[in-house]
Amino acid sequence: MYQILIDGRDLYYPGDEEYTVSDAEVCLQLNDSGTFECDVPVQNPEYGSIQNRRSMIQVLKNGKEIFYGEVRESEKDFYRTKHIYAVGELAFLFDSIQPQAKYQNKTARQLLEIWLDQHNSQVEEKKRFYVGMVTVHDSNDSLYRFTNQETTLDAIREKLCEKLDGYLRIRKVNGVRYLDLITLNEYGKICEQPIEFGDNLLDYAENVSASDLYTCVIPKGARLEKSPIEGLEAYVDITSVNGGKDYVYSPEAVAAYGWNRCVVSWDDVTLPVNLKRKAEEWLKDAQYETMSLNLTAADLSQLDVDMECFELGDFIPVYSRPHGMDRTFPVRSVELHLQNPIENILKLGADVKLSYTSQNKGQYQVIEQELDNTRQTTSWMQSAINNATAMITGSKGGYKVTEYDSDGRWLRDLYMNAPRKEDATLVMQINMNGIGFSREGFEGPYKNAWTIDGVLLGEFIKAGSVTAEKLSVEYKTSVETAITSKFDVAAGAIEAEVTRAQGVEVELAASLKVTSDLIETKVSKEGFGTYVQQYWDKIIYGFNYSSKYVQINPGEIAIYDNGVTDSKKRSVFDQNGNHFWRDGYYVGKIGTNQFINDASKKGLNFDLEYNAAYMAWSAKESPNADAYTTKWLYTLRSFDGKTADTLHAGCDIDLHYYTLRNVTLENVSIGNTMGWSGTIPIVTEVRDLGGGEIGWTSSTIEVENGIIVAAPR
């Protein structure tokens, strides 16, 4: 029985004449918020209480919550019926933005804690999440991530789920909403009721056809050192354990579809018997890993299967004898028609395309770290403790199987996520030889174990401190030269050091340091040294450790003075030329360029940035001079009595009789005499008037700075 609540009150109750809705539908998908929609008639008592972005919808199935979310849209039709659309509570993570930040040496749980704290600080109480179980890891449990103003859900899904193959699951305990980040195998249960197909399997497959399926496989293992055929590589095969045949096949599939061969490689398999087992599993299981099956409730009814027993994230055993298939498929999405369950749809197999979350994308620098060798509960350690606590106390029920040998003696206890060990993927096994944990089924491998011989095998070891003889090795030998070598393993780092001293010779030392962020090598003598730091995105060469640095970034070489910071950067050489900085300011470059209006005209440029004040040509005027004297100066800004946007000379200029055109002159002098400015009266014409008289015409010549600027013509 389904029940729908709005803000904790009935919106739909089966059989009630007032609290009724129509076409109610819930869509659930892995790593998606899910949606709910229905039509609410005007006579429903809660009709007027529906408010966008305020009303909360809850859907219960036999008293168990299967959907909780917020109304985002409500529209009326001609008959005033309201169609409401709600998104699931995972979409609350779209309502917060992660700041621009860089995170290093963080576990998946620590990142999730940080990002959820950011989210919780930005939203109201009803939209807050708290970290639950986190079981996904990278190879060394040390992540390097950036955030850049994306939404919290985008950050979690793209930087954790997609990178680490993780799945988000919401769990509520005593009214607190927990967000688990787990593997798919840990999401749901393994169903005891299988689905068995006949020849009609491909009728339900949306992305696989008969031509995509193989009935025979030739397995190829690890490469052999020697080959019987010169010029060709040889590999481990199965002929020695398969009656001389190098292939395995499915008789049923061959009978139905004929021979369709392929070659599959397992580069790490060295034993023929293991190679054969993997090939057989591939034929009936792995080759179907990309298959998606769409099944309606009506389809399942015809297959004698009750859809009601399946939930999102569950694993369903699926068989098809004609195809040789024997595989467990995850439930990727569920579409529930609350009032017409015959239309319910189940999607199994490969990833599905997200709906609401895919349409709600948000708009979207190395710090030296020293290892803390003191014994304390560090942040990552506390995070590991919290995660272990969440996993142990938040675990769902599983299955325990006790096995005995043929004489009735206890053999082992198995704790599993399926009732049969053949179907289980998560297995904890206890026997007289130890305790082992497998995430790949009963046959293993058991990558985490504690055996009776004292060996503790683990993919990750997390501890406040580790003291052991085998973790620190010192080797000393005395010959002509005394050499000391040391190799230490600590939390998050590997360090090696070699020092040498001979007689009164000063100590020469070399060291290697490896952390999750960098590889550092250093050689020093008499307090002077050189070192190299290699990061994922750059390489730094240092001299005397805190003096001069060369940093190689993708496509550029940078020079620093007294530290690798922006304020210490001096120059960078890249594809555009030489760039120059001073005291944190980018002042300009010398390089190539081209004209904007005519890209065919290219040349060498001296480019001054707006932040800079001047560009100069200077010279030392004596051997003992402690400063350079400016000889030619362009000022972008005015200073020291110099006008802005002006060329200033600091020496004589000899044009060698070349022409100086289009010139405006001010304050002209010859020698030490400045050019005169004024008016000179002149007579321009003398006339004989007769009788001993003359007449004349006068005019003037105008002079500025010693230059005649106007005269009669």
151 secondary structure, DSSP code: B
Q: Which position has the token pair 């949306």?
A: 206
Residue 172 has a CB neighbour count (10 Å cut-off) of 12
Among the listed residues 98, 300, 36, 46, the one whose alpha carbon sits nearest the alpha carbon of residue 191: 300
Q: Are strands 528-534 and 519-525 parallel, antiparallel or unpaired?
A: antiparallel
The C-alpha atoms of residue 414 and residue 408 are separated, in whole angstroms, by 17
Q: What value does the mean pLDDT take over residues 253-271?
A: 86
Alpha helix segments (H runs only) across 234-286: 251-257, 272-284
Q: What value does the mean pLDDT take over residues 625-634?
A: 90
> What are the pLDDT digits (tens) for 400-448?
889 888 778 888 999 888 888 888 888 889 988 889 888 888 888 888 8
C-alpha 496 chain-centroid distance: 31
619 pLDDT more than 50: yes
Residues 479, 485, 486: CA angle, nearest 5 degrees? 155
> What are the pLDDT digits (tens) for 189-204?
887 777 776 654 555 5
Residue 514 pLDDT grade (very low, low, confident, very high; cuts 50, 70, 90): confident
Residue 42 pLDDT grade (very low, low, confident, very high; cuts 50, 70, 90): very high
22 pLDDT more than 50: yes
Residue 103 pLDDT grade (very low, low, confident, very high; cuts 50, 70, 90): very high
DSSP for 493-534, written as a single string: EEEEEEEEE-TTPPPEEEEEEEESS-EEEEEEETTEEEEEEE
State residue 192 phi and psi, 5-degree precision. -80, -25
Kindly list the distances between the CA atom of residue 482 and the CA atoms of 510, 526, 568, in Å, as whole numbers in the listed order.
14, 17, 39
Mean pLDDT score of the chain: 80
Residue 23 has a CB neighbour count (10 Å cut-off) of 13
- What's the token pair of residue 370? 């020293």
> What are the pLDDT digits (tens) for 535-550?
877 787 776 544 567 8
Q: What value does the mean pLDDT take over residues 263-284?
A: 89
> What are the pLDDT digits (tens) for 321-342?
666 667 778 888 889 999 888 8
> What are the pLDDT digits (tens) for 285-296?
766 666 677 776
Q: What's the pLDDT score for residue 48?
A: 92
> What are the pLDDT digits (tens) for 358-402?
333 332 222 233 333 333 345 556 666 666 666 666 666 678 889
C-alpha 27 chain-centroid distance: 29
DSSP for 552-590, written as a single string: EETTEEEEEESSSSGGGEEEEEETTEEEEEETTEEEEEE
Best-predicted range by mean pLDDT (119-123, 263-267, 484-488, 521-525): 119-123
Residue 532 pLDDT grade (very low, low, confident, very high; cuts 50, 70, 90): confident
Q: Which of 9-18, 106-115, 392-401, 599-608 has the lowest mean pLDDT?
A: 392-401
Where is pLDDT greater, at 613 or 285? 613
- pLDDT-above-70 percentage for the chain: 78
Where is pLDDT greater, at 184 or 369? 184
Q: What value does the mean pLDDT take over residues 469-478?
A: 37
12 secondary structure, DSSP code: E
The C-alpha atoms of residue 247 and residue 496 are separated, in whole angstroms, by 49
- What's the token pair of residue 390? 């969440």
Best-predicted range by mean pLDDT (313-327, 509-523, 629-643): 629-643
Q: What's the pLDDT score for residue 180?
A: 94
Helix-then-strand count for the chain, H and E: 7, 47
The C-alpha atoms of residue 134 and residue 182 are separated, in whole angstroms, by 6
Q: What's the pLDDT score for residue 129?
A: 96
Q: What value does the mean pLDDT take over residues 118-136?
A: 93
Q: Which of 151-160, 419-428, 472-481 has the lowest mean pLDDT?
A: 472-481
Q: Which of 60-69, 342-351, 634-643 has the lowest mean pLDDT?
A: 342-351
Answer whether 216's CB lies under 8 Å from 260's CB: yes
- How far apart are the two ends of the chain, measured CA to CA in Å? 113
State residue 348 phi and psi, 5-degree precision. -115, 150
Q: What value does the mean pLDDT take over residues 620-646?
A: 89
Burial class, 488, CB count within 10 angstroms (exposed 0-12 / middle 13-18 / buried 19+):
middle
- What's the token pair of residue 424? 């289980």
Where is pLDDT greater, at 465 or 677? 677
Q: What's the pLDDT score for residue 384?
A: 67
476 pLDDT more than 50: no
- What's the token pair of residue 426? 């998560």
The C-alpha atoms of residue 359 and residue 611 are separated, in whole angstroms, by 42
Residue 404 has a CB neighbour count (10 Å cut-off) of 10
Among the listed residues 115, 91, 101, the one whose alpha carbon sits nearest the alpha carbon of residue 36: 91
- Amino acid, single-letter form, for residue 523: V
The C-alpha atoms of residue 333 and residue 335 are separated, in whole angstroms, by 7
Answer whether 434's CB lies under 8 Å from 450's CB: yes
Best-predicted range by mean pLDDT (49-53, 487-491, 611-615): 49-53
3-state SS record for 360-378 = CCCCCCCCCCCCCCCCCCC
Kindly list the distances between the CA atom of residue 470 and the CA atoms of 217, 475, 488, 490, in Å, as whole numbers in the listed order.
45, 13, 10, 12
171 pLDDT more than 60: yes
600 secondary structure, DSSP code: T
Best-predicted range by mean pLDDT (98-112, 292-306, 591-605): 98-112
Where is pLDDT greater, at 355 or 125? 125
